[in-house]
């Protein structure tokens, strides 16, 4: 039985190469080949440059991927039915009546709930042109991606055996995220990852850009952080690096959520501001932090609150992004129990560690909101905020809770070219 099942799987054709699987999909059993003169007909008035670039990229993939069917013979058994198959001359791209023409990059970074990624794709079996329609350039981009996944190549022909094909697609999740921790990943690594994300319609790149071991982000107002905190002078991200990567992502239908994790995961800041970090290099590290190196911000101190608030504001104002993460995860309170400066400040302010954390978070988040950003935190801090929901309600704060089958999946850029793990998030 198992052998029969595997044999059956080996005979499946192109619709099962679609990823993610479209919301609705119907197929036939007619062979259809791409014309040798196949072209994309962009019937969108004043179509933006990034849509034309996406079309050129789709044309390139169709002409150069030459993906053989994953069966014995790589599709040799299909050659007979391809001899007299109809040819598909073109794919016509249209925008729904009344839709606004915005670049893909503009649509990609809209707030959640305001992005239109749906599309309708029809590929006839009779040799007439295929059609792709959507309510936005982003929807057309998603449809182009699906169209490129339909085809196999054998003997000089790009083909499908399942025409006619009809797809109406809309994301199953409002937010799908690839999380990358990149203290020393190169821009080329990140661009390659973004390319792979676009192929499977992942719409958000959570960029965990700093951590205990490295602070590679160059910030003009705080230049010593990267000078002292990066692995090397060549392993940093300049402001232009970041802005160019954000634009690169947006043109591929991907929003970026940058994370500067605080108040934990900040040991590296102690190399520049030793008075702002406690438990620096404490041993055993496992007593004072959830992962090496030991060291966390003295977030109860007003000067530390002011410093981090100014740092986040400086970074946020350079980015055309709606969301910005302040982390907030894996804070080890053991680090503060015997820290004299923290305990003195708590006593002086007549507050608790939790109260000091609330003050710290309110300050940093207020600064982000002032820059037009929506703050994002990890679940530990989110749960604590929900417990203080009366305060949140008075402030008019809304909560979006994200769920995943996996708690935390991280790719090491030095070892993998494409992220093997993807985190679906609602």
Taking the CA atoms of residue 313, residue 381, residue 215 and residue 421 in that order, the dihedral angle to the nearest 10 degrees is: -120
Choose, from 235, 291, 330, 380, the residue flagged as catalytic.
330
Question: What CA–CA distances, in Å, run from 204 to 114, 407, 415?
Answer: 14, 17, 22
Comparing CA positions, the residue from 97, 318, 93, 100 lying closest to residue 209 is: 318
Residue 160 host element (H or E): strand 157-169
Q: Is the dihedral of CA 82, 85, 90, 92 positive or negative?
A: negative
Residue 104 has a CB neighbour count (10 Å cut-off) of 24
Sequence-ordered list of residues with C-beta below 8 angstroms from that of 195, at least 6 positions apart, any chain: 252
Instruction: Tell me if residue 163 falls in helix, strand or coil.
Output: strand
Write out the DSSP string of 212-271. TTB--B--GGGTHHHHHHSSSTTS-B-HHHHHHHHHHHHTTT-EEEEEEEESSS-GGGGG
**Position of tokens 């929901």?**
389
Is 330 catalytic? The answer is yes
For the annotated catalytic residues, the residue numbers are 330
């Amino acid at each position: 039985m198992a052998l029969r099942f595997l044999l059956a799987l080996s005979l499946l054709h192109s619709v099962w190469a679609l990823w993610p699987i479209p919301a609705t999909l119907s197929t036939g059993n007619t062979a259809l080949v791409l014309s040798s003169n196949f072209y994309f007909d962009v019937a969108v008035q004043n179509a933006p440059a990034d849509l034309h670039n996406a079309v050129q990229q789709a044309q390139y993939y169709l002409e150069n991927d030459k993906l053989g069917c994953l069966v014995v013979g790589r599709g040799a058994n299909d050659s007979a039915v391809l001899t007299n198959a109809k040819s598909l001359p073109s794919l016509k791209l249209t925008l729904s009546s009344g839709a606004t023409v915005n670049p893909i990059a503009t649509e990609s970074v809209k707030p959640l709930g305001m992005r239109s990624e749906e599309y309708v794709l029809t590929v006839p079996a009779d040799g007439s042109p295929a059609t792709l329609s959507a309510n936005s350039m982003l929807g057309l981009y998603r449809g182009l991606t699906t169209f490129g996944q339909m085809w196999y190549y054998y003997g000089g022909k790009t083909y499908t055996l399942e025409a006619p094909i009809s797809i109406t697609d809309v994301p199953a999740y409002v937010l799908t995220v690839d999380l990358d921790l990149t203290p020393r990943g190169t821009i080329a690594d990140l661009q390659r990852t973004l390319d792979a994300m676009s192929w499977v319609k992942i719409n958000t790149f959570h960029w965990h850009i700093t951590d205990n071991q490295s602070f590679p982000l160059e910030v003009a107002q705080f230049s010593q952080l990267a000078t002292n905190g990066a692995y090397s002078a060549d392993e940093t991200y300049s402001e232009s690096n970041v802005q160019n990567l954000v634009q690169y992502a947006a043109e591929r239908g991907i929003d970026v959520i940058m994370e500067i994790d605080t108040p934990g995961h900040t040991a590296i800041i102690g190399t520049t501001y030793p008075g702002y970090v406690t438990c620096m290099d404490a041993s055993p590290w496992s007593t004072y932090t959830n992962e090496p190196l030991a060291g966390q911000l003295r977030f109860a101190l007003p000067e530390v609150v002011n410093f981090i608030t100014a740092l986040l504001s400086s970074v946020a104002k350079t980015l055309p992004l709606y969301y910005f993460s302040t982390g907030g995860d894996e804070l080890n309170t053991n680090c503060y129990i015997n820290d004299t400066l923290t305990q003195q400040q708590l006593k002086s302010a007549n507050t608790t560690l939790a109260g000091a954390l609330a003050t710290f978070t309110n300050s940093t988040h207020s600064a982000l909101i002032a820059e037009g950003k929506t703050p994002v935190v990890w679940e530990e801090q989110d749960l604590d905020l929900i417990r203080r929901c009366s305060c949140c309600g008075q402030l008019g704060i809304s909560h979006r809770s994200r769920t995943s089958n996996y708690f935390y999946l991280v790719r090491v850029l030095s070892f993998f070219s494409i992220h093997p793990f993807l985190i679906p998030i609602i």
